[in-house]
Amino acid sequence: DVRAEYMVERRTANALPQDIPGISSDIFSQSSRAMTLNAEYTWSDSLFLTFGSLLRHGDVVASTRRGRKIFSASKAIADDPVFGPDFYAYRMAGTSYGLNMGVNIAVTSHSMLHTSLARQLTYAEGDNNYAKTVAMLSWNYNF
């Protein structure tokens, strides 16, 4: 089974109070476009494999301490008191690439064990790059 998707996302939010003159504080209004390509392969009656890829371009939002590298590349910046008094949330443009693979095992006729590994790399404005790896293990039971 093979599936391809194209997504357009637009989020709007109220701007936070402006902290830095000349820089927008509208950090949570975002737009992006993404394409995914996913495949599932049935190995046997109780085992199937999943593979996926992602290409996404658009706004990236994160939080950090005050820093020139982040501030100079950001489209928007605002205080982020959730992480502490010296933290700022920011929004900048970035391109993300991702790959994932998983294994699903039918343990019984009502339950499945799922394990997967995903890796995502984001290249953002001003050489602000990010990497994320997520390993997941779950057990699903249906009544």
Distance CA(26)–CA(77), nearest Å, equals 7
- Taking alpha carbons only, the member of 47, 11, 45, 5 closest to residue 26 is 11
Residue 48 has pLDDT above 80, yes or no: yes
Residue 47 near residue 106 (C-beta atoms within 8 A): yes
**pTM flag (> 0.85):** no
Other beta carbons within 10 angstroms of residue 84's beta carbon come to 9
Give the model's confidence band at 21: pLDDT under 50 very low, under 70 low, under 90 confident, else very high: confident
State the DSSP code for 126: G
pLDDT of 23: 83
Residues recorded for the chain: 143
Residue 118 near residue 133 (C-beta atoms within 8 A): yes
- What would the pLDDT profile of 91-134 be if each residue is shown by its tens digit? 999 999 999 999 999 999 999 999 999 999 999 988 989 999 99
Give the model's confidence band at 29: pLDDT under 50 very low, under 70 low, under 90 confident, else very high: very high
pLDDT of 36: 98
Distance CA(137)–CA(39), nearest Å, equals 19
- What would the pLDDT profile of 71-92 be if each residue is shown by its tens digit? 888 899 988 888 888 888 899 9
